[in-house]
Amino acid sequence: MSTSSYSPRSSLESLRADSPAPSHFEPDFLAPQIQGPQVWEGSELDQKNAIVPLFPEDVDAVRAAVVSFRYLNHPGAELTHINKTTFVLPEALSAKLATISEMVHLGQGIGIARGLHAANFNDEEAIIAYAGVNAHVAPLRATDDFANQTLSKLLTNKTGHIRDATHEKVPEWANGIGLAGSKITSAMDYHSDRYSGDILSMYLRNLGEKGGDQYVASWSRIYNELLKTEPEVLETMAAPDWPFELKLKDGSTIQDDGPVLFFANNKPILQLVKAPLEGTPRIPRSPSMTPLTSSQKHAMSTVQALAAKYGTKLTRQAGDIQYINNLGVLHARDAYEGAKAGVPSTRHTLRMFLKDDRRAWAKPESYRARFDNPFQKRKEEFTIVDLDPWRKISGRESHG
């Protein structure tokens, strides 16, 4: 039997004490094999079942709600006042959008609202529509006290303009800051965003010219495989000594140790993201940070290989709003490029992290504050057009 050198209580408050004995060997502190619709391989994922179609009458209702918020019932209102009460939709449409939360939490972990491209929103209308639709799916929007990966300013909503900023002239004050993963065209390995929110939501405003395909993989399927073949990898992932590098607002960095695998109510929760552990070419890792161990490097490469094996490419259409369980589904992206060399890509995605308290997964007690932190009350400011792809969005805690 493998022996762990740390206390399993570090990230494993809710264990399987009352679970039946497994039919195969498992370390005592790991949750048993996962059962249910969240366990799938790419060939088994019927993406048609994940799509919630927005019919013409639904799109008209969303547009009417945008007009009502902006010009009629709430003229001059701050965009951050958008919620189910101020962004009013027909009861049937609101109920239809709420089923997406069920898909994300109780089903395969993926939901897609499809059809909003027909509305032809301008930039401000798109932000209003996006926040409004999200409010009917999961009412809580994340905010960010590290000011990284955000759409907006200061203590901001954790919304992001995901776009190509690699061709923009770097202002003198931004020299050496580097662009975050959301602003560059490079591929992103499979990951889940650390302490960002329960649901990753992305509104595909423009698919761009070349590349940028998206992929998803079931963490439960990968977990089950590792439980059978390499449980020591799971032990390594649950150990609280992963040396994450955090970039603070003043440009300094700190090391934030913690696990990448958590357990609550026998559910394995993954929060594994590469950039704050290894750095990127544009944002190198500080030499003052503790290097990864060989076991941690092996765990990361093993998870990546299994995600590639069991994952699948998402179908995409302009106007889609994707909803992905950020605790139980990994996501990845291919590199992308503009129409020709030297021309930036027009690919443009809006991003929010959300939470639905009615269906949210339980979190381990000793880390609950970290998971809840993004949903504390803070000042929100939505940026309609992303003009600052450096300081306000650079950072390494969450993405890529």
Tell me how far the alpha carbon of residue 172 is from its chain's centroid.
Answer: 31
Report helix angle 91-106 to 123-137, nearest 10. 70
Q: Which of 33, 352, 361, 50 is nearest to 216 (CA)?
A: 50
The answer as to whether 31 is a domain residue is no
Determine how β-strand 329-333 pairs with β-strand 143-144.
unpaired
Please report the DSSP string for 130-181 in residue order: HHHHHHHH--EEPEETT--S-SSSSSEES-EEEE--TTSPPPGGGTTT---G
Q: Is residue 65 part of a domain?
A: yes
Please name the amino acid found at residue 346.
T
Alpha-carbon span 116 to 61, nearest angstrom: 11
Diameter of the chain by CA atoms?
67
The pair of three-digit structure tokens given for residue 256, joined into one six-digit string: 């934030």
Q: What is the pLDDT along the chain (400 residues), one digit of tens a residue?
A: 333 333 333 344 433 333 333 333 334 579 999 999 999 999 899 899 999 999 999 999 999 999 999 988 888 888 889 999 999 999 999 999 999 999 999 999 999 999 999 999 999 999 999 999 999 999 999 987 544 443 333 334 444 889 988 988 888 877 777 788 888 999 999 999 999 999 999 999 999 999 999 999 999 999 999 999 999 999 999 999 999 998 776 668 899 999 999 999 999 999 999 999 998 877 889 999 999 999 999 999 999 999 999 999 999 999 999 999 999 999 999 999 999 998 999 999 999 999 999 999 999 999 999 999 999 888 787 888 887 787 544 443 444 4
| Residue 118: how many other CB atoms lie within 10 Å | 16
Residue 155 within a domain = yes
The answer as to whether 281 is a domain residue is yes
Q: Which helix (H) or strand (E) holds 384?
A: none
DSSP state of 269: E
Q: Crossing angle for the helix pair 123-137 and 56-67, nearest 10 degrees? A: 110
DSSP letters along 26-93, please? --TTS-----STT---GGG--GGGGEEE--HHHHHHHHHHHHIIIIISSTT--GGG-STTTS---HHH
CA angle 210/180/144 to nearest 5° reads: 125
- Residue 120: inside a domain: yes
> Rounded to whole angstroms, what are the CA distances from 240 to 4, 245, 297, 394?
12, 14, 15, 25
Residue 389 is assigned to a structural domain of this protein: no
Contact 242, 227 (CB under 8 A): no
Provide the Cα torsion 28, 29, 33, 38; round to 10°.
180
Q: Of 197, 190, 35, 38, which is closest to residue 104 (Cα–Cα)?
A: 38
The total number of structural domains that make up the chain: 1
Tell me, what CATH number does 230's domain have? 3.60.130.10
Comparing C-alpha atoms, which of 219, 234, 256, 253 is closest to residue 330? 219
Its domain, for residue 186, covers: 40-375
Type of residue numbered 235: E
* 121 within domain boundaries: yes
CA–chain centroid gap for 37, Å, is: 20
> Would residue 30 count as lying in a domain?
no
